[in-house]
Amino acid sequence: MKIRCFAPAVALLVAHQAVAQGDPAQQPFKYLDLPVKEAASRAGVQPNQANNVVFDTARHHVFLEADGTSIGYADVEFRGTPPCSPKQPLDSVAALKELGVDASALELAIDKPDNHTYYDHQQGIKVSVTCNYEGAPLTAGFSRKQYGVLMGSTNR
């Protein structure tokens, strides 16, 4: 009897994982702390000469920066969207939603026209959506760096 209940649960978990892995740009924070080779394998590419992982999807250019032997930072450029302007308010909620991140579960810490910085207390990460300059693509960055310091903890 227990096996019958367990088998559908495993099948559902495997199906959910396959869907989540369908677009390697979804939930970029999932690469943080992974060994570089594992992150590259999940993205379907090889690390570059600097040991970083770089890949493109139809809508995103993704840069995963190595911090030693693991990924310490994820940066996503949005493709196929109008260029942004630091003078215009960002729609960071829509940008994060496109990456599979629920902005309502995050704490908005910085709200400037060209930069929205959030803290994800559940994942222990800092999330920034920025317009770096006039005509630039919108970018989203994910990092554990500075999260602990900004939250009053030095554990990270």
pLDDT higher than threshold 80 for residue 151: no
Which pLDDT score, from 0 to 100, does residue 147 have?
61
**What's the domain count of the chain?**
1
84 within domain boundaries: yes
> Contact, 137 vs 83, CB < 8 A?
yes
Mean pLDDT for all residues in the chain = 85
pLDDT higher than threshold 80 for residue 13: no
Render pLDDT for 37-91 as a digit per residue (tens, 0 to 9).
999 999 999 999 999 999 999 999 999 999 999 999 999 999 988 999 999 999 9
Instruction: State mean pLDDT over 119-129.
Output: 94
58 within domain boundaries: yes
13 within domain boundaries: no
1 within domain boundaries: no
Closest residue by Cα to residue 57 from 66, 45, 47, 46: 45
Q: Please count the other Cβ atoms lying within 10 Å of the Cβ belonging to residue 142.
A: 25
52 burial via Cβ count (<10 Å: 0-12, 13-18, 19+): middle
pTM, to two decimals = 0.80
5 within domain boundaries: no
Domain that holds residue 27: 23-150
Render pLDDT for 40-51 as a digit per residue (tens, 0 to 9).
999 999 999 999
73 within domain boundaries: yes
CATH number, position 81: 3.30.310
